[in-house]
């Protein structure tokens, strides 16, 4: 799981293993072994990887799905700052807050 997520994150950034390894200040073959599941990083390196890719350690270890968090943040942004109408009227700030709160409740139930 860790190696797959690591590879996906790297590919999403359109970076080579060497580029990521340099950014993390580790050897390229060490990074490659992480992706292939042959080796696991120590805690300090795990933290560096998570910070570099902007994800949680839980996500890297397979315990979290950031896409849900990202989706929630995007939807909240739209609800609060977006230009939309409800029954042909722009929502008030209070209505926008209520919609965001409802979204959070629904998200927690998922």
- In the chain, the domains with their CATH numbers are 2-60 (1.10.260.40), 66-109 (no CATH)
pLDDT above 90: residue 83: no
Looking at every residue in the chain, the average pLDDT score rounds to 86
List phi, psi (to 5°) of 92: -75, 170
State the average pLDDT over residues 67-89: 79
State the average pLDDT over residues 83-100: 89
Nearest-angstrom CA–CA distance, 9 and 70: 14
Output the 3-class SS for 29-57: HHHHHHHHCCCCCCHHHHHHHHHHHCCCH
For residue 27, give the 3-state DSSP assignment: coil
List phi, psi (to 5°) of 94: -65, -40
> Residue 69: which pLDDT band, with cuts at 50, 70 and 90?
low
Q: Which structure tokens are listed for 29?
A: 């073959």
Among 56, 95, 100, residue whose Cα is nearest residue 74 = 100
For residue 81, give the 3-state DSSP assignment: helix
> Tens digit of pLDDT for each residue in 35-66?
999 999 999 999 999 989 888 888 888 886 65
């Amino acid at each position: 799981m860790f190696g797959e997520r690591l590879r996906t994150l790297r590919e999403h950034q359109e970076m080579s293993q060497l580029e990521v390894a340099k950014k993390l200040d580790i050897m390229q073959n060490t990074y490659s072994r992480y992706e292939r599941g042959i080796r696991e990083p120590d805690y300090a390196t795990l933290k560096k990887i998570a910070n570099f890719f902007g994800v949680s350690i839980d996500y890297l270890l397979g315990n979290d799905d950031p896409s849900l968090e990202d989706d929630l943040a995007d939807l909240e942004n739209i609800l609060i700052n977006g230009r939309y109408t409800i029954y042909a009227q722009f929502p008030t700030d209070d209505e926008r807050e209520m919609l965001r709160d409802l979204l959070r409740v629904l998200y927690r139930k998922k």
